[in-house]
Amino acid sequence: MVQKLEKTVPVSCNKDCGGGCALLAQVQNGKIVKITDNPLIDEHMKGCIRGYHVPDTVHSELRLKRPLLNTGSRGSGEFKEIAWEEAFSRISEKLGEIRETHGCESVLAFNGSGSCRGAFHHTNLQTQRFFSLFGGFTGRNDSYSNAAAGYVEKFLFGTRMVGLDPPTLEHSRLIILWGANPSSVRFSSRIESWLHKRKDDGIPVVVIDPRRSRTVRKLATQWIPIQPGTDTAMMAAVLHVLLEEGYADLEFAEKYTIGFDDLSSYILGRTDGIPKDPEWAEGICGVPAETITHLARTYGTEKPAALLPGFSIQRILGGEETYRFATALQAATGNIGRVGGSSGGEFKGMLPIPYFPQLPVPETSAFVRLPVYTWPDAVLEGKDGGYPTDIRAIYNVGTNYLNQGSDIKKNIRAFNSVEWVVTQDYFMTPTARYSDIVLPVTTCFEREDVVFPADNYLFYSGKAIDPLYETKNDYEIFCELSERLGFGSDFSENRTSEQWLEKFMAESDIEDTDRFKTTGIFKGNDHHRTGLSDFIAKPQENPLDTPSGKIEIRSQAYAKTGFSPIPECRITAPPKDHPFRMITPHARFRVNSQNSNLKWIEPFNADRLQMSLRDGEELGISQGDRVRVSSPEGAMDIEVNLSDDIIRGAVSLLQGSWTVMDESGVEKGGAANMLTSTTPTMPSQGARTHSVFVRIGKYNAN
């Protein structure tokens, strides 16, 4: 007999992904049996395989079911179940003791991708609110994703609201995806569909990437392979052609930017005697000079053109320069602020959305901020190493930083150096294994929230099912701990999570809340916006928040960081003893490290080292061989995949696999951060996980 579905609930993934999709959960007998797209949404809005497989997360037998206490050494995996009362007592007593003995700032509070799109159930906001009222803490001031881009945009534009609505691509005559892979990494739930449409319309879609990504296969009319970390050389050469052959819109650059003439002098070689022409760039980036020239001529002719940079090109040493150059290119071609064009800066989710309040975080003078990329160095070195605090405890909410932070061995040393570690998560992640207490939390489908997508919408995410096992949401956990630590009413304001959301609804742009909860969708008014369009239309009336009021190609404020006031090519070549450039892209089937432990992903598992056929032949490596990959930070044994889908001299390993080390400390699970370094790109102190230099040899089990 076919059972009748009990209910269908509008939901949305509250994950660290650029989508935040409008979905429906079909629930039967208290179990989510299927996830589908919400049919009321824009035809271009589609969910992805990760969202459709959410039931595999929610109902996984691997879910943490009860609080756990570590009974062995950290990382041993030896835990015993304890009651919530004991967990709360142990945590509150230890936090109180550390606060009294070492000060609030001695607690490093990790908060990240567990839930990061919700108005209320948001791991960042929940954690920051709790620890601000605790008295203060040490936390992060940026993200692994886009620290370099966010850093330079304040110098370039004075704002980060420089994105675009995907429907504006309808007007583009050329689209350049520079290091962007929206077919695997969600920049919005609409952009892949729009790119597919434009390709079908006959519009050139050029993808510049070291590997033939899924985006190349599905969306590109041209793939230009490039050496990782050398994008600025090619960008400079494109600009050289635009200037030399008269394609540059000098009138636009003069009107809307400061310093374009200084950059032109650098590009043409007037300042250092080195013209940054295509022949010069070819020897650095591996792209033939004629390919660069052809792209530049097309770019200078086909307008409007949208240059959409991925985060990958700024996660390199010198990554700050890639976004500075991308902006300069869009200025040189007159494509900034123009419908069908782009700013050259971040483009996903970087425009206003309908107003909806979020959980407020009280200000505290005792909030010490660290660059997230160097947190293990801060823990290990403390004040003696020049860092602002001596860390005694780590409180980890919805993150897997031990695995996802660079240099896993260093991260383990950092965890083992502190007195106390607490983790709140769904699963026994590598980070949870190195914790003293692990608390089981709800998934986003076991609670109610409003989700902010990357597009101009709000999505209602209903409570599809009751919390499973003995899980609690982060808010419930912090309410209990704050009560025991003496600031319970300040934290909760005597509201339940439902009452908080009711308050937010009443203060939001949503007028018909009943309809919103029924449909799951609230649509913003305008979906054809281009960042900086008001400035471009009327620059005198709408000056930018920069010293000049214009786009600052030359920034004297940036020069105070010790780096060039204009964009310059800062390219690091591999050392002779580690000659391969390794990149660590996102996997289509994971959200960072989420899903790595689930069975549904196993048939799609592609955790192999990708290498070119020619490089494999030269090293005597055959398809499917196991190889030893090593960097100054660590070593890994992994199967190799040889193909023509990656440029020679580069290798690729998808990030996010959970670490599995043997007794000698060699990585066996494919965790890319066993090989990465915590030395950041400067001056942003951002991630450089696409500037990894490795050597490779055939694996010898003996």
Tens of pLDDT, residue by residue over 513-537, are: 999 999 999 999 999 999 999 999 9
Q: What is the CATH number of domain 580-698?
A: 2.40.40.20
Read off the pLDDT band of 186 (50, 70, 90): confident
At 111 the pLDDT is 81
SS3 476: helix
At 577 the pLDDT is 97
Tens of pLDDT, residue by residue over 458-490, are: 999 999 999 999 999 999 999 999 999 999 999
pTM of the entire predicted model: 0.96
Tens of pLDDT, residue by residue over 265-285, are: 999 999 999 999 999 999 999
Tens of pLDDT, residue by residue over 287-306, are: 999 999 999 999 999 999 99
Q: Calculate mean pLDDT across residues 605-634.
A: 95
Q: Calculate mean pLDDT across residues 111-133.
A: 89
At 205 the pLDDT is 98
At 115 the pLDDT is 78
Read off the pLDDT band of 605 (50, 70, 90): confident
At 679 the pLDDT is 98
Nearest in space to 130 (alpha carbons), one of 144, 114, 110: 110
- DSSP 8-state class, residue 646: B
* Domain residue spans of the chain: 68-144+366-442+467-507, 148-345+538-559, 580-698
At 1 the pLDDT is 46
pLDDT reading at 5 higher than 90:
no
Q: Calculate mean pLDDT across residues 367-374.
A: 93
**Can you point out the beta strands (E) in 172-296?**
174-178, 205-208, 222-224, 257-258
Tell me the CATH architecture of domain 148-345+538-559. Answer: 3-Layer(aba) Sandwich (3.40)
> For the chain, what is the largest distance between any 2 Cα atoms, rounded to a whole number of angstroms?
81
Question: Percent of the chain having pLDDT more than 70?
Answer: 99
> Burial level of 170, CB count in 10 A (0-12/13-18/19+)?
middle
Q: Calculate mean pLDDT across residues 368-375.
A: 94
C-alpha to C-alpha distance for 131 and 369, rounded to whole angstroms: 13
Pairing outcome for strands 580-583 and 650-652: parallel
pLDDT reading at 663 higher than 50:
yes
- Concatenated DSSP letters of 93-126: HHHHHHHHHH-GGGEEEEE-TTS-SBSSS-HHHH
- Residues 578 and 275 sit within 8 Å (Cβ to Cβ): no
Name the token pair of 605: 């598992």
> Burial level of 329, CB count in 10 A (0-12/13-18/19+)?
buried
Q: What is the CATH number of domain 68-144+366-442+467-507?
A: 3.40.50.740
pLDDT reading at 614 higher than 90:
yes
Contacts of 465 (CB under 8 A, 6+ apart): 27, 30, 31, 32, 58, 445, 446
Contacts of 639 (CB under 8 A, 6+ apart): 608, 609, 624, 625, 626, 627
Q: Calculate mean pLDDT across residues 572-576.
A: 97
C-alpha to C-alpha distance for 200 and 215, rounded to whole angstroms: 14
C-alpha to C-alpha distance for 678 and 399, rounded to whole angstroms: 18
- Residues 126 and 134 sit within 8 Å (Cβ to Cβ): no
